[in-house]
Chain A
Amino acid sequence: MIMAKAGLVIGAGIAGIQAALDLANQGFTVYVVEKNPSIGGRVAQLDKIFPKLDCAPCMITPRMVEVGRHPNIRLLTYSEVKEVRREGKNFKVKILRKSRYVDENKCTGCGACAQLCPIEVANDFDERIGMRNAIYIPFPQAVPLIYTIDKEHCLECELCKNVCKIGAINHQQRPEEMEIEVGAIIVTTGYNLFDARREEEYGFGLYDNVITGLALERLLNVSGPTGGRVVRLSDGRIPKKIAFIQCVGPRDEKSGNVYCSKVCCMYATKQAELLKKHIPGVDVTIYYMDIPTFDKKFKESYQKAQSEFGIRYVKAKLVKVLEKPLNNNLLICGENIDSGEPIENEVNMVVLSTGLVPAAINDFAKILPLKIGEDKFFVVVNPEIDSVTTNVDGVFVAGVAESPKDIAESVTQASAAATKATVLLTY
């Protein structure tokens, strides 16, 4: 019989899920550490996937369920990796299990507690458009379906504790530490959105009707906070004229991100098409620097957006977005690069196609001595022929943590990382 070591996957987004399933389905034990209460990552937030406009939850939720009940996967959600020590060829990993204040083994996810909870705060999963209680699951299909108390907002009124029939709630729960031994680590920590407040000329954070692409994704989603109705956040009206601004964050020396985020052109095109389907007669303009539609079916999708859906693409250098105080409309000012004429366009809503910035990089540098590039993404040793092997033996990266990429590429890279890891996991 061949003896095998366990593997560790850090971050359970689409890449982490793929890597974990690939290892687990070959019979290896896999620990999956996720810092959020639920797995699923960014893809769980999306409505549709370009270029075919496939439904995103249809792809991710069955996979999440599979991870949740796989006999070879030990799922450690709401947990963080605190320390990694090398011992011979293995790693000793210390994991902090943050306290949910809810017993993971007892909670059935019935939701009686959340119905009584008097506190409502903005839900990060809904990009702060929807609300959640202080005791919450981020979204109905969360895996594992276990409630978490957000102590920052909790009043400790103990209403939830009294209503919970099985006694799963424990306001005095302490965080726990555990140590595991693994033979290989796959880092799939993913991305955050570029903080659009840093490009203050677009007014994100100042004006209600300037939103990010991910927020629009939540508005478009049928199970999102508005039930799939796209409305203006200032007054709840349906916008009739919408503008997209591309390259907010990436490709900008001022923000320090010179790289292209690769997905924004396509997700804006996808969202523009979806808007045309959601709001009859809506006028959509996309202001761009250029549209690099390099992959299979991408160019076709871009052409279809123009010819079939009548979406206008304007090559422009934008200077400022101003809000009209009376009706909260937004005035886009800039210059049309093709014609050289000034742009002054009044719209109801502005969507910023914000770029991707790597998540967890700063915390990680202390824990694992992984090399980080000038662009803050993890560096692989030999990017031309091997996009997963890092400078630390036995540690692989996949997904957006390595470089900006779309879902299909993330999944492919995750499978590659899992394959490389199996070599180390088998004696």
Chain B
Amino acid sequence: MTEQFEPRILGFLCNWCSYAGADLAGVSRMSYPTNIRIIRTMCSGRVDPLHVLEAFRQGIDGVLVTGCHIGDCHYINGNHACEKRVKFLSEVLPQIGIEPARLRLEWVSASEGGKFAQVVKEFVEEIKKLGPSPLRKELQTSV
């Protein structure tokens, strides 16, 4: 396989902070890898562990969850709930054969367009090092 591995990454961005931050990165013409596909959720607390697991089941290489900084949540404590779930997930993922580093949680505010671009860049680099998701390989062989 000579072709360079281009990971597929799913981003769950909260409406109030991170989605606006990603928007700022876009309208400020910052460039970041195009490997990420973004799903907007009203709050990072809306991201159910099942969403993440389903994404991995379908063969995604990495999942990025971003929300408002702690204390900034528009629904008071949605991001606290999100933090707990991600912690829980990072314990569960190794049991299904997925490296916990494939799931990342970051806090990005609406004024941190630069940070968002940076986070995506770093995450894509990291996933590139890890290589394709083991589940994706399995899916491909089964097909």
**Chain A residues engaging chain B, CB cutoff 8 angstroms:** 47, 52-59, 61-62, 65, 109, 111, 140-141, 145, 221-223, 227
Choice from B16, B27, B28, B114 contacting A58 with Cβ under 8 Å: B16
Q: List, sorted by A's number, 10 A–B pairs whose CB atoms are closer than 8 Å.
A: A52-B72, A56-B111, A58-B16, A58-B17, A58-B68, A59-B74, A62-B19, A109-B27, A141-B20, A223-B112
> CA A140 – CA B23 in complex, angstroms?
9
Report the bound CA distance from A57 to B111 in whole Å: 6
Size of the B side of the interface (Cβ < 8 Å), in residues, is: 22
Q: Is B44 an interface residue (CB 8 A)?
A: no
Q: Is B46 an interface residue (CB 8 A)?
A: no
The answer to whether A222 touches B20 (Cβ under 8 A) is no
Chain A residues near B57 (CB, 8 Å)?
A: none
Give A111 to B26 CA distance when docked, in angstroms. 12
- Known interface pairs A52-B71, A58-B109, A141-B27; A222-B16 also in contact (CB < 8 Å): no
Q: Find out whether the CB atom of B17 lies under 8 angstroms from the CB atom of A55.
A: yes
Q: Which chain A residue shows the least CB distance to B42? A: A62
Nearest 7 pairs of A and B residues by beta carbon: A57-B110, A58-B110, A55-B109, A140-B27, A58-B17, A140-B28, A61-B20
Which residue of B is nearest A142, CB measured? B27
Interface of A is mostly: loop
| Number of A-B contacts defined by CB within 8 Å | 66
**Does A222 lie within 8 Å of B115, measured CB to CB?**
yes
Interface string of B1-32 (1 = CB under 8 A from A): 00000000000000111011001100111000
Instruction: Select one of B15, B69, B111 contacting A221, CB under 8 A.
Output: B111
Which chain A positions have C-beta within 8 A of B59? Answer: none
Contact A53 B20 (CB under 8 A): no
Q: Complex: how many Å from CA A59 to CA B24? A: 14
Taking A109-B27, A141-B27 as given, write out 6 further A-B residue pairs in contact, using a Cβ cutoff of 8 Å, ordered by the A residue number: A57-B20, A57-B111, A59-B16, A61-B24, A141-B20, A223-B112
Q: Does B113 contact A (CB under 8 A)?
A: yes
- Smallest distance from the beta carbon of A131 to chain B beta carbons, Å? 15
**Chain B positions 68 through 109: 1 when the CB is less than 8 Å from some CB of chain A, otherwise 0:** 110110100000000000000000000000000000000001
CB pair B23 A222 closer than 8 Å: no
B109–A111 touching, CB < 8 Å: no
Quick check: B15 and A62 within 8 Å, CB to CB?
yes
User: Is the CB–CB distance between A111 and B20 below 8 Å?
Assistant: no
B23 engages A61 (CB within 8 Å): yes
- Report whether A145 and B111 are in contact in the complex, using a CB–CB cutoff of 8 Å: no
* B68:A55 contact, CB within 8 angstroms: yes
Q: Distance in Å from the Cβ of B29 to the closest Cβ of chain A?
A: 6
Tell me which residues across on chain B come within 8 A of A55, comparing CB atoms.
17, 68-69, 72, 109-111
CB distance from B112 to the nearest CB of A (A): 5
Contact A58 B113 (CB under 8 A): no
Identity of the chain B residue whose Cβ is nearest the Cβ of A57 in the assembled complex: B110
Given contact pairs A111-B29, A140-B27, A62 touches B113 in the complex (Cβ within 8 A):
no
- Looking at the assembled complex, report how far the CB atom of A379 sits from the nearest CB atom of chain B, in whole angstroms: 35
- A137: nearest chain-B partner, CB-CB: B27
Say yes or no: A223-B28 contact (C-beta < 8 A), given A47-B111, A58-B72: yes
Residues of A within 8 A of B110 (CB): 55, 57-58, 61-62, 141
- Residues of B close to A53: CB separation below 8 A: 71
Give the CA-CA distance A222 to B109 in the complex, in Å: 10
| Chain B residues within 8 Å of A141, by CB | 20, 23-24, 27, 110
Q: How far is the CA of A53 from the CA of B73 in the complex (A)?
A: 11
Contact of B109 among A57, A145, A227 (CB under 8 A): A57
Partner of A140, one of B17, B68, B72, B113: B113
